[in-house]
């Protein structure tokens, strides 16, 4: 079966597009034909992940499983999820997929240079669901890196409304709020930022935020992992 | 069957991403769940369209038919093609598809205000294949609009290398060449530009070209047509 990256996207739709764009950038290609082949299921009707994890909405799992089925039926050989929060259901999605799934936090840790961030604190910009699911903290702790996360008040004032503003297409306004959430982490001692919600790196890029210079972008790490897979699997002439 | 826009993309891959981004922008949505559902087959291994039409390469039709089959099997209810040149094979693709195809030139003409560009000349920035296939000229002539196209020399010096530079990821360099191709049309009397190759609007946007102010963007027209379909077909609460 020829290599094909399946993207489970739509959460939100701009995050799927951002990942596709980064995959193209991560793939050194001399022609269209050497570029990375992708099938992106960008179906935003998946029920809200944050609300479901807060106990306030229906589970997104059946809709995501439908997406995984589409990607497998179409011949995907690897599948990635363009949403950190959705990785809460990673094991169930992986169990239902013939194609192996690449985990965004594994890709992020693989991209981190050895010794990076040790003995400093990383500001983890992520949804409450991503934090509660421990997607990043244990992986970072195993490398000697500790995390600072937003307080409840910062979530309510900055992070959550910022995230939903991006989803509503108010990217500038959303980015300004997300920058305030990031600034709060820096004020409390973070030296670097981990942009562990896929709306965050695209929003900060949209306003050319200076905070990007301090940031680790899991979407970019995932894109690089996909490009590595494509280069190892493809047979160029 | 719930509405689902299938995108036949990858020609080149950035053009598929540009169309997806424009579909999101064209869809007024208050949440992820109201956004347009898209399945994008962005597989750049489709043989080169320009070379095939110049008699110098294998036909892209079998690969494109494989993409159409994937989109139909996944339940696409409308299909669009993120490449003007590929519309040379539109009838054959439409005949093989259960889901109706939306033609990019029909969408472009539908978006043109009545009386627009009448008695002036429009500069048609397009591949030789798109021009030879008469995707736009007859449709425009029926509205009283005439076209100016690049000369052979302008194709060789500006348009074709500009287009391939974008495909190789050299977007700034490609955009500069495509601007020169556009400038040649303006010098010869064009008052507006029709960016009828999907690499062109994304390249000009990348360098924030002042020529965008004079330009009609078929990718944007196609995105708007998709958003209209989604709004008419979807049942929001």
The per-residue pLDDT for A236 is 57
Measure CB to CB from residue B14 to each of A24, A31, A43 and give the nearest one.
A24
Active site residue B83: yes
CA distance A153 to B201: 43
- What's the DSSP call for residue A100? P
- CB-nearest partner of B31 from A32, A75, A167: A167
CA B20 to chain centre: 12
Average pLDDT over residues B153-166: 97
- Interface confidence: ipTM more than 0.85: yes
Supply angle C-alpha A102, A107, A112, rounded to 5. 170
Checking if the pLDDT of B141 tops 60, the result is yes
Mutate to test the interface with B, among A26, A32, A174 (most CBs of B within 10 A): A32
Maximum separation of any 2 CA atoms in chain B, in Å: 56
Q: Does A161 touch chain B (CB under 8 A)?
A: no
Distance from C-alpha of A237 to C-alpha of B229, rounded to nearest angstrom: 42
Task: Give residue B237's pLDDT band: very low, low, confident or very high (50, 70, 90).
Answer: very low
pLDDT at B184 over 90: yes
Residues 177-206 of B with CB under 8 A from A: none
Q: What is the mean pLDDT of chain A?
A: 95
With contact defined as beta carbons under 8 Å apart, do B63 and B81 qualify?
no
Q: Are strands B5-9 and A215-216 parallel, antiparallel or unpaired?
A: unpaired
Q: What distance in Å separates the CA atoms of residue B172 and residue A34, rounded to the nearest whole number?
A: 20
Asked if A160 has any chain B CB less than 8 Å from its own CB, the reply is: no
Closest CA to A125 of A224, A201, A189: A201
pLDDT of residue A235: 67
The share of chain B scoring above pLDDT 90, in percent, equals: 93
**Distance between CA atoms of residues B140 and B80, nearest Å:** 21
pLDDT tens-place string over residues A164-200: 999 999 999 999 999 999 999 999 999 999 999 999 9
Mark residue B75 as left, alpha or beta (left: phi above 0; alpha: psi -120 to 50; beta: remaining).
left
DSSP A158: I
Q: What is the pTM of this model?
A: 0.97
Contact between A42 and B40 using a beta-carbon 8 Å cutoff: yes
- Cα distance between residue B234 and residue B34, in whole Å: 9
pLDDT tens digits for range A45-74 = 999 999 999 999 999 999 999 999 999 999
3-state SS assignment for residue A58: coil
| Chain B positions in Cβ-Cβ contact with residue A16 (cut-off 8 Å) | 20
Q: Reduced to 3 DSSP states, what percent helix, strand and coil does chain A have, rounded to the nearest 5? A: 55, 15, 35
């Amino acid at each position: 079966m020829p290599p094909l990256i399946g993207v489970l996207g739509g959460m939100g739709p701009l995050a799927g597009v951002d990942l596709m764009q980064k995959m193209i950038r991560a793939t050194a290609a001399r022609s269209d034909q050497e570029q990375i082949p992708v099938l992106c299921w960008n179906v935003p009707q998946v029920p809200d992940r944050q609300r479901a994890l807060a106990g306030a909405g229906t589970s997104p799992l059946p809709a995501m499983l439908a997406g995984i089925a589409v990607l497998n039926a179409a011949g995907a050989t690897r599948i990635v999820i363009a949403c950190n929060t959705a990785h809460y259901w990673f094991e169930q999605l992986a169990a239902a997929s013939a194609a192996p799934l690449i985990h965004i936090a594994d890709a992020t840790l693989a991209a981190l240079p050895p010794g990076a961030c040790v003995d400093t604190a990383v500001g983890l910009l992520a949804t409450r669901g991503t934090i509660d699911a421990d997607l990043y903290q244990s992986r970072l702790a195993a490398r000697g890196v500790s995390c600072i996360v937003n307080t409840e008040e910062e979530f309510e004032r900055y992070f959550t409304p910022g995230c939903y503003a991006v989803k509503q297409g108010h990217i500038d306004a959303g980015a300004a709020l997300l920058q305030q959430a990031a600034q709060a982490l820096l004020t409390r001692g973070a030296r670097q930022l981990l942009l562990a919600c896929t709306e965050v790196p695209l929003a900060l890029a949209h306003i050319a935020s200076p905070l990007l210079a301090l940031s680790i972008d899991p979407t970019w790490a995932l894109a690089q992992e996909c490009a590595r897979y494509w280069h190892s699997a493809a047979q160029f002439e």
